[in-house]
Structure 1
Amino acid sequence: MTAFLEFDFIVVGAGSAGSIVASRLSESGRFTVLVLEAGGWDRNPWIHIPLGVGKTIMNKAVNWTYHTEPVPQLFDRRLYMARGKVVGGCGAINGMVHVRGQLQDFEQWRESGCDGWGWSDVLPYFKRSEDHYLGDTDLHGKGGPVAVSRPRGHSVLCDHFIAAGVNFGLERNDDFNGIRQDGIGLYDHTVRRGLRSNSAIGALRPARRRGNVRVEVGAHVERIVFDSGRAVGINFRKAGATLRQARARREVVLCAGAINTPQLLMLSGIGPQTHLFAHGIDLVAAREEVGRNLQDHLAVRIICKTRKRITVNDDLRSLWRRGLMGTRFLVQRTGPLAFASAQAGMFFRSRDGLPYVDAQAFMMPFSVPGIGQQPHDFSAFTVSVTQSWPSSRGVVELRDAAPASPPAIRPNHLATEDDKRFFIDAVRTVRAVLRTAPMNGVIAEEYQPGPGVVKDDEILDYVRQKANTIYHPCGTCRMGSDAESVVDASLRVRGVTGLRVADASIMPRITSGNINATCLMIGEKAADLILADHDSAMGN
């Protein structure tokens, strides 16, 4: 093993939360920070072009390209699980839809024992992470590392979709991150002047100029180093070379995400005792819930052909329209290349009588046969529908004790009757919106599931055949006040010292909507929690 590096803090993962944690810990200049990122620099141009998501979603150069184990309720299909392996993490490859979730999400966190994580507690951190187009208001922030903007132009299909939703009975909602989430409207996006915005660009990049932050890319972390139950460092390997060690004078902070963080904890001896012993791993702390409580948003697509050539499919099929797309983007940073994948959406109740909206839909002005594939050769759009709070729970486990082996991901989608019932009801509701004027005048025919899929069992069968994750795994290192929780409300890993987790894995329950905004908030709050402890220790 080569000689070790020494820093005050080591942050594992340069993703949405990790980039913010590293930036905030280094701001005062009092502390040195080492960031270890398994992927490379975010130099792939498709990362920064909003419509370029299709080019990065299955690109092994920037993506872990994981697959789940066979999912029993989905006909034993193995689902693709995109995970960012690049500076920026999943914030470099996601669809850029910015949704915080409902107020009730965080009130439920607080009520479940996560003191300090209620809505009034987390709102300041949401605001601090943003550079919002509405400026500094009661609900939004200005000057933060991640830009939040309205689409710079959008497909005419969005206007038809929103009008149909309003005619159906939904309220127009111009800010899903405002006072209420329910309704139909345009999404906010993490885009700045037509280019992707994320915490690596807005927080980590300027932090590196301070001189007290070092980023090691291509650094595959293998284990956390402990001394008498205290995390004192990290063993990592660069490009298969000699094992190296970095030492932390103060703390190690894991920001590797809901799949890789529990994997690293288990490889390091923190996890379910029987599982670790089965793989020959020495126990540091028995934490039975490490890797448990996995939650994710499963989604199913409704694809409709259009009467006119008004879709992105048509833009990409035409040589001159592709040329126009490129010109508009290069000159004005507008046009389809500046489109985030989902432009409009709705939050709604899958059935009458529910106290809160429990469903989300995404309107995308294109259609594809499958993940990462070229658009269909006909004019079509997609509406994808997902469940806000699935009741099914899965697990992340070790496949073996080799750090280079991908973990075994068992999402357990559709394991409960409530989740199955949800999709039947939600698909019916979305179809009803699409049958409402003016949307019904735009649609030539429903391509998928198709007019032959009508009965409950037929809809459920379609969901089981076609549904896929939309890459929102979380909850695998659950935060709580109970002894079984993996981390406490200050994000400290129970059973050891000097180690925290700050990423989507700490979420006790998944939030209603895309989870990247919540990951940014977690990074902001984690940095304050860490600094408060060390300021106190220094007598400040």
Structure 2
Amino acid sequence: MTDHIFFDGKRAVGVEWLEGDSTIPTRAAANKEVLLCAGAIASPQILQRSGVGNAELLAEFDIPLVHELPGVGENLQDHLEMYLQYECKEPVSLYPALQWWNQPKIGAEWLFGGTGVGASNHFEAGGFIRSREEFAWPNIQYHFLPVAINYNGSNAVKEHGFQCHVGSMRSPSRGHVRIKSRDPHQHPAILFNYMSHEQDWQEFRDAIRITREIMHQPALDQYRGREISPGVECQTDEQLDEFVRNHAETAFHPCGTCKMGYDEMAVVDAEGRVHGLEGLRVVDASIMPQIITGNLNATTIMIGEKMADMIRGKDALPRSTARYFVANGMPVRAKKMSRDVN
């Protein structure tokens, strides 16, 4: 477990870490640079324990200040999502795959042939929409799953079903990660500050109502049974808010806690170099100034590849000319959905 980075003046020159339950640190010196790639939760903690961060926080734990950067650990962002679940009237969902007696065959088919249910990621349909005219880019993401179950495999509905995972992509809510001790084994104080803006609540209300409209289109009449969750009785803003409050959960997309930029809360520059220091870069999702519209994995890989090219002095790839969507006054819907979902 990485304890801290050590410095010679303002230059990062190495790292100390602890192995297992040992309290005796092991030290490694850097030949050129120290690259911090511990993620949006751990990277700011390591910087803070190393004396880089908010001066008042570091003084609270008697950590000598190497360089004050108040943005370290701030600007924490994540994606929240929820499930809308429906009964499936036809026996075509993945429900049988949840039964233990079917799983040996599924596993063998994948192991020896690379085919079948085990070869799928199961989220084989998805998309992005704008929920309101005020957004120039899509702000809601969908994943469709042909079974009704929680992400962690719990609380599976005991019948054929399907569900939409839907969530807000560009929440204005911001949280923080702050150490509670100099001990690297001590968990930090993490505040995601979810749903702290009215925009968050409005987007989730819109998401539920739009999902219901989608699910009540004629193409799904053959398959759509009763609404399992949240249930047709959940209609008013207050009822929808209560459902979101009780059922929204993380998509495991933390980012932003060592953000790239040049304002007073920025931590790294355009090449991932920590402001005010030498020989130290952050290369992970923590450097995103604003969370992206979509899953973070591919973007985080891109960050690693771009930074690797910069460090090695390789020429950057040509700037992409790929088209991307901007509303430019386009309506949210080409034509209004007509199905009554009440």
Normalising by the smaller structure, the TM-score range is 0.7 to 0.9
Residue 50 (structure 2) pairs with residue 268 (structure 1): yes
Per the alignment, residue 530 of structure 1 pairs with 311
- Residues in 2 aligned to 1:509 and 1:459: alpha-carbon distance in whole angstroms: 27
SS of the equivalent of 1:315 reads: helix
Select 2:203's aligned residue among 408, 418, 422. Answer: 422
- Residues in 2 aligned to 1:391 and 1:274: alpha-carbon distance in whole angstroms: 26
- Residues in 2 aligned to 1:480 and 1:464: alpha-carbon distance in whole angstroms: 33
Per the alignment, residue 289 of structure 1 pairs with 71
Per the alignment, residue 340 of structure 2 pairs with none
Task: Give the stretch that moved more between structures: 362-371 or 499-508.
Answer: 362-371
- Tell me how far 1:318 sits from its aligned partner: 6.3
Per the alignment, residue 363 of structure 1 pairs with 144
- Residues in 2 aligned to 1:443 and 1:429: alpha-carbon distance in whole angstroms: 16
- Residues in 2 aligned to 1:267 and 1:369: alpha-carbon distance in whole angstroms: 36
Between the two proteins, the alignment pairs up a number of residues equal to 313
Do 2:71 and 2:264's aligned partners in 1 also have CA atoms closer than 8 Å?
Answer: no
- Tell me how far 1:449 sits from its aligned partner: 0.4
Per the alignment, residue 194 of structure 2 pairs with 413
Instruction: Please list every run of 5 or more consecutive structure 2 residues that lacks an aligned counterpart in the other structure.
Output: 315-342
Per the alignment, residue 257 of structure 1 pairs with 39
Instruction: Please list every run of 5 or more consecutive structure 1 residues that lacks an aligned counterpart in the other structure.
Output: 1-219, 534-540
Per the alignment, residue 492 of structure 1 pairs with 273
Do 2:40 and 2:284's aligned partners in 1 also have CA atoms closer than 8 Å?
Answer: yes
Aligned structure 1 segments of 4 or more residues deviating by more than 4 angstroms:
none
Residue 129 (structure 2) pairs with residue 348 (structure 1): yes
Do 2:77 and 2:256's aligned partners in 1 also have CA atoms closer than 8 Å?
Answer: yes
The amino acid of 2:53's aligned partner reads G
Select 1:509's aligned residue among 283, 290, 293. Answer: 290
SS of the equivalent of 1:301 reads: strand
SS of the equivalent of 1:446 reads: strand
Per the alignment, residue 376 of structure 1 pairs with 157
- Residues in 2 aligned to 1:427 and 1:462: alpha-carbon distance in whole angstroms: 10
- Tell me how far 1:453 sits from its aligned partner: 0.5
SS of the equivalent of 1:489 reads: coil
SS of the equivalent of 2:30 reads: strand
Residue 100 (structure 2) pairs with residue 328 (structure 1): no
Structure showing greater radius of gyration is 2
CA shift digits 1:134-156 (9 cap, x unpaired): xxxxxxxxxxxxxxxxxxxxxxx
Alpha carbons of structure 1 residues 276 and 483: separation in structure 2 relative to 1, 3 Å: same
- Tell me how far 1:353 sits from its aligned partner: 5.6
SS of the equivalent of 2:33 reads: strand
Select 1:456's aligned residue among 226, 237, 247. Answer: 237
1:7-18 counterparts in 2 under 5 A?
A: none
Do 1:317 and 1:377's aligned partners in 2 also have CA atoms closer than 8 Å?
Answer: no
**TM-score of the aligned structures, taking structure 1 as reference length:** 0.56
The amino acid of 1:298's aligned partner reads L
- Residues in 1 aligned to 2:245 and 2:258: alpha-carbon distance in whole angstroms: 28
Residue 215 (structure 2) pairs with residue 431 (structure 1): no
CA shift digits 1:251-286 (9 cap, x unpaired): 000111000000110111111111111122111111
Percent identity of equivalent pairs: 37
- Residues in 2 aligned to 1:312 and 1:243: alpha-carbon distance in whole angstroms: 49
Select 2:118's aligned residue among 324, 332, 337. Answer: 337
- Residues in 2 aligned to 1:413 and 1:247: alpha-carbon distance in whole angstroms: 40
**TM-score of the aligned structures, taking structure 2 as reference length:** 0.87
Per the alignment, residue 166 of structure 2 pairs with 385
SS of the equivalent of 1:409 reads: strand
- Residues in 2 aligned to 1:377 and 1:279: alpha-carbon distance in whole angstroms: 51
- Tell me how far 1:399 sits from its aligned partner: 2.1
- Residues in 1 aligned to 2:63 and 2:148: alpha-carbon distance in whole angstroms: 46
Per the alignment, residue 231 of structure 1 pairs with 12
The amino acid of 1:423's aligned partner reads F
CA shift digits 1:156-182 (9 cap, x unpaired): xxxxxxxxxxxxxxxxxxxxxxxxxxx
- Tell me how far 1:297 sits from its aligned partner: 0.5
Do 1:351 and 1:426's aligned partners in 2 also have CA atoms closer than 8 Å?
Answer: no
- Tell me how far 1:328 sits from its aligned partner: 1.9
- Tell me how far 1:371 sits from its aligned partner: 3.2
Alpha carbons of structure 1 residues 493 and 282: separation in structure 2 relative to 1, 3 Å: same
- Residues in 1 aligned to 2:153 and 2:222: alpha-carbon distance in whole angstroms: 30
The amino acid of 1:381's aligned partner reads F
The amino acid of 1:407's aligned partner reads P
- Tell me how far 1:358 sits from its aligned partner: 1.1
- Tell me how far 1:374 sits from its aligned partner: 5.9
- Residues in 2 aligned to 1:238 and 1:301: alpha-carbon distance in whole angstroms: 40
Select 1:465's aligned residue among 246, 265, 268. Answer: 246
- Residues in 2 aligned to 1:278 and 1:308: alpha-carbon distance in whole angstroms: 61
- Tell me how far 1:324 sits from its aligned partner: 3.2
